[in-house]
């Protein structure tokens, strides 16, 4: 691997993947906002900066112009309930890594639906991207596959080297417990569970539209 694009909708343990790549000498770059002064612009930056041995983490749907030159890692989370709880807390506190000092708050069903649609739409979009768009290589990593054993990362990526036996070196980035942040925690879990099937078709439609606007004409989808 040389140029790596790490795609995630957030709260999937992607910071752990970045930590691994940094440990083997990669430069880490980020795109998590659409503010033009902060956005890593693939086309422009590739002309200005050499991207050898670089990994770019991206929460957006933007793609490099020449995807065949990039190794894609799509990082997702099997447990959509926990992912949604985590993103609700992070968005409320604006603390994305580490424990936030907050007063417990109440989550509404509107907030639950918004977060679910965001994650499901992104996942549907990325499934199409992985299966249709040409890349140098594609790896799909679920958080649950490496969260208990860091050494699973090089194995899953076919990179052969060993890493670490625990995540103790990044435990300071561990987030606040859901039940300590959300005052109606049990009700919120039920709302998330009940709404997954209700919003899935709408979210997938958003994902398909995003894909069609970016790649549909090129790949005939």
- Between residues 177 and 109, which one has the greater pLDDT? 109
Question: pTM of the entire structure?
Answer: 0.90
Residues in the chain: 221
Token code pair at residue 99: 């424990």
Token code pair at residue 88: 């609700």
Q: Which region among 41-45, 55-59, 68-72, 206-210 has the lowest average model confidence (pLDDT)?
A: 41-45
User: Is the pLDDT score of 171 beyond 90?
Assistant: no
pLDDT of residue 36: 47
What are the structural domains, with CATH classification, of the chain? 3-219 (3.40.50)
User: Is the pLDDT score of 50 beyond 70?
Assistant: no
Q: Using one digit for the tens of pLDDT, what is the confidence trace for 102-144? A: 889 999 999 999 999 999 999 999 999 999 999 999 999 999 9
Collapsed DSSP state (helix, strand, coil) of residue 39: coil
pLDDT of residue 172: 79
Q: 86: pLDDT confidence band, cut at 50, 70 and 90? A: very high
């Amino acid at each position: 691997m040389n140029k790596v694009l790490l795609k995630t909708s957030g709260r999937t343990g992607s910071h752990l993947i970045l930590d691994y790549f940094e440990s083997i000498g990669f430069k880490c770059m980020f795109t998590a906002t659409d503010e033009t002064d902060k956005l890593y612009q693939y086309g422009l930056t590739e002309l200005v900066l050499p991207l050898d041995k670089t990994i770019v983490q991206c929460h957006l749907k933007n793609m490099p112009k020449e995807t065949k030159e990039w190794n894609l890692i799509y990082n997702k989370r099997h447990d959509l309930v926990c992912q949604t709880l985590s993103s609700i807390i992070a968005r409320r506190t604006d603390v994305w890594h580490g424990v936030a000092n907050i007063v417990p708050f109440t989550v509404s069903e509107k907030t639950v639906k918004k977060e679910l649609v965001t994650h499901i739409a992104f996942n549907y979009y990325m499934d199409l991207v992985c299966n249709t768009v040409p890349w140098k290589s594609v790896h799909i990593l679920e958080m649950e596959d490496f969260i208990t054993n860091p050494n699973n990362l090089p194995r899953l990526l076919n990179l052969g080297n060993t890493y670490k036996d625990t995540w103790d070196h990044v435990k300071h980035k561990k987030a606040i417990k859901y039940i300590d942040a959300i005052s109606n925690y049990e009700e919120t879990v039920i709302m998330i569970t009940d709404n997954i099937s209700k919003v899935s078709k709408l979210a997938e439609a958003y994902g398909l539209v995003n894909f069609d606007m970016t790649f549909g004409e090129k790949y005939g989808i």
